[in-house]
Amino acid sequence: MSAPTPTAVIAAPRASDRVRVAAMVESTGVFRPDEIDVALEVFDEAVDQPGADYHALGAYEDGRIVGFTLYGPTPCTVATWDLYWIVVDPQAQRLGVGRRLMERTQEAVRAHGGRLVVVETSSRTDYGPTRAFYEALDYVRAAHIPGYYAPGDDLIVYTKPLDPPPAETVHHG
Ligand SMILES: CC(C)(COP(=O)(O)OP(=O)(O)OC[C@H]1O[C@@H](n2cnc3c(N)ncnc32)[C@H](O)[C@@H]1OP(=O)(O)O)[C@@H](O)C(=O)NCCC(=O)NCCS
- The Å distance, Cα 98 to ligand 1 centre, comes to 6
- The Å distance, Cα 43 to ligand 1 centre, comes to 21
β-sheet bridge partners, residue 81: 73, 117
The maximal CA–CA distance of the chain, rounded, in angstroms, is 54
pLDDT tens, position by position, 89-138: 999 999 999 999 999 999 999 999 999 999 999 999 999 999 999 999 99
pLDDT (0 to 100) of residue 12: 98
**Reported confidence tier of residue 164, pLDDT bands at 50, 70, 90:** confident
Determine the Cα–Cα distance for residues 52 and 136; give it in Å rounded to an integer: 30
Nearest CA to ligand 1 atom 10: 96
Which atom belonging to ligand 1 lies closest to the Cα atom of 136? Answer: 29
153-161 and 116-122: which strand pairing? antiparallel
Which atom belonging to ligand 1 lies closest to the Cα atom of 134? Answer: 16
Determine the Cα–Cα distance for residues 125 and 95; give it in Å rounded to an integer: 22
| Neighbour-count burial of 82, counting CB atoms closer than 10 A to its CB (0-12 exposed, 13-18 middle, 19+ buried) | buried
Determine the Cα–Cα distance for residues 147 and 22; give it in Å rounded to an integer: 28
**Reported confidence tier of residue 170, pLDDT bands at 50, 70, 90:** low
Q: Is the pLDDT of residue 1 over 60?
A: no
Backbone angles phi, psi at 166, to 5 degrees: -55, 145
Nearest CA to ligand 1 atom 36: 88
Determine the Cα–Cα distance for residues 105 and 111; give it in Å rounded to an integer: 10
pLDDT tens, position by position, 21-64: 999 999 999 999 999 999 999 999 999 999 999 999 999 999 99
93 lines ligand 1 (CB under 6 A): yes
- pTM (2 d.p.): 0.93
98 lines ligand 1 (CB under 6 A): yes
- Strands ordered across the beta sheet of 116-122: 9-11, 55-61, 64-73, 80-88, 116-122, 153-161, 140-150
Determine the Cα–Cα distance for residues 43 and 13; give it in Å rounded to an integer: 9
Determine the Cα–Cα distance for residues 70 and 171; give it in Å rounded to an integer: 30
Mean pLDDT value across residues 7-26: 96
Q: Where are the alpha helices (DSSP H) in the chain?
A: 18-27, 33-48, 97-111, 128-136
Task: Annotate 36-59 with b (16+ C-beta within 10 A) or e (fewer).
Answer: eeebbebbebbbeeeeeebbbbbb
Q: Which of 30, 82, 93, 138 to mutate to test the pocket of ligand 1 (most atoms within 8 A of CB)?
A: 93
pLDDT (0 to 100) of residue 7: 78
- The Å distance, Cα 99 to ligand 1 centre, comes to 8
- The Å distance, Cα 33 to ligand 1 centre, comes to 22
